[in-house]
Structure 1
Amino acid sequence: MAFSWEELTNSKITNLFLYGDVDKPKDLVDEELIRGEDETIDISVDPVSYMATGAGRFATANMSAMVDGFMSGKRKSAIPGVRQEFSVNDILLKDEKNTFTVQNYEFDDGAGDHAMRSYVWGTASFKIATSARFVIEADGTIDVYVNHDNRF
């Protein structure tokens, strides 16, 4: 099932959880409603709308301890006059994960979707792309690029 993030309303996500379908069945005692332990439902959500206007809009790179540590100069030191480029693996500390979480109930920008985001999306996990590049320019400027042209 594919959805935009706005389509997964409180009632639809509850129905998917309880009944395995977005619509509430007419017969709530139907034996067919009992799913097996290993039975799952795959749901796809458009990632662009999720990150632009959905629950993902509150996830920022500085929420990652790895990115925050690099941007604050705690992970790598500038070598004056030398451009340095690092990968995610170069920046990660030992036993550190390349993920961070967002608790949707903590964020309300007045857009009117706080209750729905909190209920449907709850806690969301994000990962910095392994293709990200951490750069200290020769002049000491620090940047993180998700691809050749786009900065975080």
Structure 2
Amino acid sequence: MGCTVNGREYEAAVDPRMTLADFLREKLRLTGTHLGCEHGVCGACTVIVDGSATRSCLMLAVQADGAEVETVEGLAEDGELAPLQQAFKRNHALQCGFCTPGFLMSVTAALREQSVADEEQAREVLSGNICRCTGYTGLVKSVLEASAGKDANA
């Protein structure tokens, strides 16, 4: 099985039943991808595969053969947080941090496709992920801030 993860090519022998989440965590030691429910419900394991937000707990590693995979470890560049990560920090959009990587990857994929103009759209973008700590206010503000920054830089 071979794929590109965060711009780096990897080749590895994997058990046919190994999930992409387990491959990332166990084989590549990219532990930012978290496993919560392992049923595709919570979104903590979300990564981007070939441009689409994907629940890595539901995808087999062998299904990623030849794919381009992005994890939360790939968002920051040269030690600088990505604009969305900076917005999360400024708006206190995390508490325990367990769900944060999944939110970041889901929102990153969504913002690449479209801008988010209002709170309703922001909540829709966030709706596939679950946080048990926050009231989502900081998350909504972060999505709107990152989207506005994206539009200003376009």
Q: Same fold by TM (over 0.5)? A: no
Larger radius of gyration: 1
- TM-score range with shorter-chain normalisation? under 0.3
Give the TM-score taking structure 1 as reference length. Answer: 0.23
TM-score normalised by length of structure 2: 0.22
Q: Determine which structure has the larger strand proportion and give its number.
A: 1
